[in-house]
Amino acid sequence: MSDDKFAADKKAQELAGPEGGFPEQEQTPPGLSTDLTPFPDHGEENWVGRGRLEGLKALVTGGDSGIGRAVAIAFAREGADVAINYLQEEESDAQDTKQWIEKAGRKAVLLPADLREEKAARGVVDDAAEQLGGLDILVNNAGFQWARRDGGLQGLKTEEMDRVFKTNLYALFWVSQQALSYLKEGSSIINVSSIQAYDPSENLIDYASTKAAINNFTVNLASELGEKGIRVNAVAPGPIWTPLQPATKAGESMPAFGSDTPLGRAGQPSELAGAFVFLASPAEASYVSGTVIGVTGGKPVF
């Protein structure tokens, strides 16, 4: 990051205090971390690993940026080797995540692919398992929403629905199905839900539906895989400062982003990592399956 960009980010961070808001900004999907003002906190400076995932092998879809990057960094510091999947346009973000995984002394595997294609989605799982030498943790984190639309349900276009449903649901089914060949007793799947599953926004009607479906999928698959000793859970984030937001919402909505939560602010990606590490840990979460942990700044997830 250049000195100029760093100074600009520092200034923006002052503007974005708990009572403040984010500067107006928009990006083109999928968006990049380096274009966010302020730059998010992925735990680079503060996550302290305690060997909770020692020797495990994880695949994090959408691990280049946002919540996925925070998870990848924390997993690596906890002792896991990590493969990340992302879209080709996000290569620069993926390289940054890779550096953090390697700085933690772990193996990083980069797997660019569009998960909306079945063959590519299945290939990502096979490649991750092959290059990592197995697979213990699958984090279904890749996701897409589109909120720049008017006219409620009438304004929803089929191509928008296709992108949302294919990314959030078809890919999740394909990737999870493919992972069944590799996961074994003690392994776990963590899906990424949303506060939108519980408290849906009108202009995210398709996205919110996929997140409710992900909760249902989580409970159902936990039931199926329980006898194999494989746990399936989900994390439901509230408003989190990631590229997804300015890449899919109107720029003028950024200043108020997250201010309607009981804690009065948006969360940072680093504030999600603890929930994922806990759920992934075979020791700490040995009896936790079929549940959703909310990390929402205080909004209810029931």
Q: Tokens 């213990």 correspond to what residue? A: 136
If binding is defined by CB under 5 A, does position 96 make contact with Mg ion?
Answer: no
Q: What is the DSSP letter of 225?
A: H
**Pattern 14-43, ligand NAD, x by CB under 6 A:** ----------------xx------------
If binding is defined by CB under 5 A, does position 64 make contact with Mg ion?
Answer: yes
Residue with the shortest CB distance to Mg ion? 65
If binding is defined by CB under 6 A, does position 97 make contact with ligand NAD?
Answer: no
Is 207 considered catalytic here? yes
> What is the full DSSP assignment across 96-157?
HHHHHHHHTT--EEEEE--TTSHHHHHHHHHHHHHHHTS-SEEEE----------SGGGG--
143 interface partner picked from Mg ion, ligand NAD, none, CB below 5 to 8 A per type: ligand NAD
Q: Residue 93: which H helix or E strand, with range?
A: helix 91-103
Closer CB to ligand NAD, residue 188 or residue 194? 194
Q: Tokens 């984190």 correspond to what residue? A: 141
Closer CB to ligand NAD, residue 114 or residue 229? 114
Q: Tokens 């746990």 correspond to what residue? A: 231
Q: Please state, as a whole number, how many other Cβ atoms lie within 10 Å of the Cβ of residue 247.
A: 21
Residues 216, 210: Cα–Cα separation, whole Å: 10
Closer CB to ligand NAD, residue 104 or residue 113? 113
If binding is defined by CB under 6 A, does position 275 make contact with ligand NAD?
Answer: no
Residues that bind ligand NAD in the complex, under the rule CB under 6 A: 30-31, 61-62, 64-68, 85-87, 90, 114-116, 141-144, 167, 192, 194, 237, 239-240, 242-245
Question: Which residues are catalytically annotated?
Answer: 207
